[in-house]
Each structure stands twice: as structure tokens, then as C-alpha cells.
Amino acid sequence: MIVEKLQPVLDQVLLRNAGEPEFHQAVREVLESLGPVIAKHPDYLEHALIERICEPERQIIFRVPWVDDKGQVQINRGFRVQFNSALGPYKGGLRFHPSVNVGIIKFLGFEQTFKNALTGMPIGGGKGGSDFNPRGRSDGEIMRFCQSFMTELYRHLGEYTDVPAGDIGVGGREIGYMFGQYKRLTNRYEAGVLTGKALFYGGSRARTEATGYGNTYFIQSMLATKGESFDGKRVVISGSGNVAIYSVEKVQSFGGKVVAMSDSSGYVVDEQGIDLELLKQVKEVRRSRISDYLQLKGSQSGAYFVGAEKGSIWDVPCDVAMPSATQNELTGKDARALVSNGVIAVGEGANMPTTPEAIGIFRQANVMFAPGKAANAGGVATSALEMQQNASRDSWSFEQTESRLAEIMRAIHDNCASTAEEFGSPGDYVLGANIAGFVRVAEAMRALGVV
């Protein structure tokens, strides 16, 4: 429930951003958490502080023309929403997926602002991308698209202004092509303008792994509060991209067994435990579909594939669920199936993958629930470490970088847990994350005046 004093803020957001349901959902969730903090500190209602937090500082929408392999001209739409720079330069990934529109980028930028605040690092919030569909495109087409996209975007970026990274459909290859074009256009080797770079031209060790590892660390801390651990647990991880793959790696190192993974075409169940090397072969080397995992695993293995139209990955019984594909992928029906199969913890690797109804069901069933803006913050935190290394022209070891990541994730967990307790809802990580993130952004905005 949203408190009465904040209802006009939400009404205004709904009116001003018509037809953007994901953005409405993200704002509503944060405003619903702020009741206790407003009761304790009514001064946050002054100077339209909360209204300003809900309004992006700048939104850029642009045409991206490019030529495909058949010589045909294609047009896509590019976006960058620079949401909030009270804590530092705008920071947040670029998403290339046909579903991308301004509402989705706005919801992601809004979430990113609080997530970045939770890391404790000097980074503001932003997000961008395009409705370009990379699936089935040749390497040459991907490069030409990235170059055209950057030809407009570069003028809005800078290591002290706005620093994008990857997200769905944008990995090391795309970051490389965009950095190449940025360098050419600006005639500057400004390594800190993009993160997620490869190691040989300014990337950080452990950045590729950071989001999946980070979510696993967060869940580990959450399980520990109940005397539990990953050891011997059955785990289901949706998606099979960057976040999902490195979640598998870390869960396995903690003794957990990942029994199912997916992509948009369906899911694979492997009761022996997902074979990480085969998974990487399918997804990172062949850039193929998750169903091809079975081909590599062999027909005798007992592993099987279920098409997306036939069932949901959340029907597979597990102790820990890690939704790591996309927004609103885990519905109320899925949550009921997970609860009846005995799930004890859910950690969001993706951004807002769990619907509000599903979160309510987990809450009622006392399932530990880690919201994405806290649990998947390891990616952006390590991006900030990449910026630090670029600024000092340094390169840290994997161990050094991963131990900083683990430390940051522990701090985010403890901050969310203690904030939830302070505001009367122990164990409510959604409330804890929203309030802790909000307070840091709000304090900075207040100090900077009405800008």
C-alpha cells in the first residue's frame, strides 16, 4: 500500500508517463516502501524531492540507420535516459532487444539510480539501448549497427558525464565495436567512457562474472541469516546469458546443484547438474539456443528440453530460484508453484523479473526474497571498479577484484537487512533496499539544491 501523502506523486507519474507500465510498476514499488521513512522524516516531502527523483533529468531518443548484409537500409530507434546524477556520472547498461521502448528504459534507469546508490560508490543512474534485434545478425551487421548507434550517442557520453555498459543483447563484442567508434569520433583514448571492455584494452577482471557472482554472494548472505547455505541445494536459474552463466559458476563453487536453465524458446532440465563447460560452449562460443545443450550432452544423459509454450521453468522443484532473464518473467502462478515445491529463497539476477503478485506470494509464504536492485548490483559495482582502474591506469588481479566485489555485496546485504529492521520490517529486503537507496540519493539531491 502506498501512503496517502505519496499518492499524488504516483498519480503525476502515471499521468505524465502514459502507456509505460513497467515504469509505473517500478515507481509504485519504491513509493510503497517509503511510508515508514516519510513518517520518521517528513522533511523528505519538501522541495518536491520525491517528485524530482521520479522525473528523469534527460531523455534522448534518436534514429539509428544502418545497412544490412543484403544492402537494405534498416532503421532502429536508440534511447538513453539520464535519470539521476546526484551521486556521480550517469551509469547503467545498454539493452538491444526488440521489446525495448522508452518506458522500459525509464524503468531500468529509475531502478539503476537506487541500485547504484546501494553500492556506496560515486555513480548516478542511467540506462539506454535500442529496439534492434541482434538475433541472427552477422558479425558485420552487429558492427555496423553499433557504429551507427554510437555515432549519435557519443556526444552525450564522457567519463565524467555518462558511462554505459552492457545489458541484454550487449556483451563484450558490442562494447568493443562501440568503444572503437567512440575513440574514432572523439580522437581520445578515454577508456573510462564505457565499461564491460575486454581485458586487453582497459577492461576489468571479474566484470564479466560480476553480476552472477554478486547475486550468488547476496543469496549466500541471506541464507546465512537462517543458518542455511548453498551446499547441497537444488537451484533453478532462468536465462542463459551473461548473468545466468556466471551464477551457475558461483553456485556450483558453493556446492549447489543447478538443475534447470532457459532462454526465450524454453528450458532444459539436467538432474545431474548443468555442465558449465557445455553451457559456455553453447552460449558463448556458438551463440546458439539452450536446446543445443542436449545435443552436446548426448541422448543418453537423461537431460531434456521443454518448449516455452509447454511449461514454465519455475515448475521445476528447487530450494533456490534465481530469475536471471528479463522483467516480469516470474508470475503469481510461477510463485505458487515454487512455494508448493518448497522454495526457501529467491534472488533476482535480472531487473524486476518477479511480478508484484509473485512478490506478495513469496512474502506471505516467508520465502527469503532478494530484489534485483540490491542482489544484482555486483555488475555495476565492478563497472565502477573498472572506472577506478581506468582513471589510475591500473589493472587489478582477479582475486583482488573479486574480493572487493564480495565485500561490496556483503555490505549491500547488511545495509538492506539493517534498514529493514530499523524501519520495522525485519527480513524485508525489498523495503530495506528501497529505503537505503532512496535515502542516499535524497540526501545528495537535498545538498545540491533545486537543480
Residues that bind ligand NDP (CB under 6 A): 166-169, 211, 239-244, 263-265, 324-326, 329, 349-351, 376, 379
CB 149 within 8 A of CB 112: no
Q: How far is the CB of 426 from ligand NDP (least distance, A)?
A: 26
Strand 266-269 relative to strand 257-263: parallel, antiparallel, unpaired? antiparallel
233 given a catalytic annotation = no
- Which residue number, 239 or 371, has a Cβ lying nearer to ligand NDP? 239
Q: How far is the CB of 35 from ligand NDP (least distance, A)?
A: 27
- Which residue number, 220 or 324, has a Cβ lying nearer to ligand NDP? 324
Q: How far is the CB of 118 from ligand NDP (least distance, A)?
A: 12
- Which one from 106, 127, 233, 257 is the annotated catalytic residue? 127
Q: Which residues contact 186 (CB under 8 A, 6 or more apart)?
A: 154
Residue nearest to ligand NDP (CB): 241
Q: How far is the CB of 141 from ligand NDP (least distance, A)?
A: 17
Q: How far is the CB of 81 from ligand NDP (least distance, A)?
A: 14
- Which residue number, 44 or 218, has a Cβ lying nearer to ligand NDP? 218
Phi, psi of 196 (to 5 degrees): 90, 20
- Which residue number, 35 or 128, has a Cβ lying nearer to ligand NDP? 128
* Amino acid at site 56: P
Q: How far is the CB of 119 from ligand NDP (least distance, A)?
A: 12
Q: How far is the CB of 155 from ligand NDP (least distance, A)?
A: 25
Q: How far is the CB of 46 from ligand NDP (least distance, A)?
A: 33
* Whole-angstrom distance, CA of residue 153 vs CA of residue 60: 9
* Whole-angstrom distance, CA of residue 31 vs CA of residue 17: 16
- Which residue number, 172 or 427, has a Cβ lying nearer to ligand NDP? 172
* Whole-angstrom distance, CA of residue 211 vs CA of residue 215: 6
Q: How far is the CB of 376 from ligand NDP (least distance, A)?
A: 4
* Whole-angstrom distance, CA of residue 61 vs CA of residue 164: 15
- Which residue number, 53 or 352, has a Cβ lying nearer to ligand NDP? 352
3-state per-residue secondary structure call for the chain: CCCHHHHHHHHHHHHHCCCCHHHHHHHHHHHHHCHHHHHHCHHHHHHHHHHHHCCCCEEEEEEEEEECCCCCEEEEEEEEEEEECCCCCEEEEEEECCCCCHHHHHHHHHHHHHHHHHCCCCCCEEEEEECCCCCCCCHHHHHHHHHHHHHHHHHHCECCCEEEECECCECHHHHHHHHHHHHHHHCCCCHHHCCCCCHHHCCCCCHHHHHHHHHHHHHHHHHHCCCCCCCCCEEEECCCCHHHHHHHHHHHHCCCEEEEEEECCEEEECCCCCCHHHHHHHHHHCCCCCCHHHHHHCCCCCCEEEECCCCCHHHCCCCEEECCCCCCCECHHHHHHHHHCCCCEEECCCCCCECHHHHHHHHHCCCEEECHHHHCCHHHHHHHHHHHHHHCCCCCCHHHHHHHHHHHHHHHHHHHHHHHHHCCCCCCHHHHHHHHHHHHHHHHHHHHCCC
* Whole-angstrom distance, CA of residue 65 vs CA of residue 78: 10
Active site residues: 127
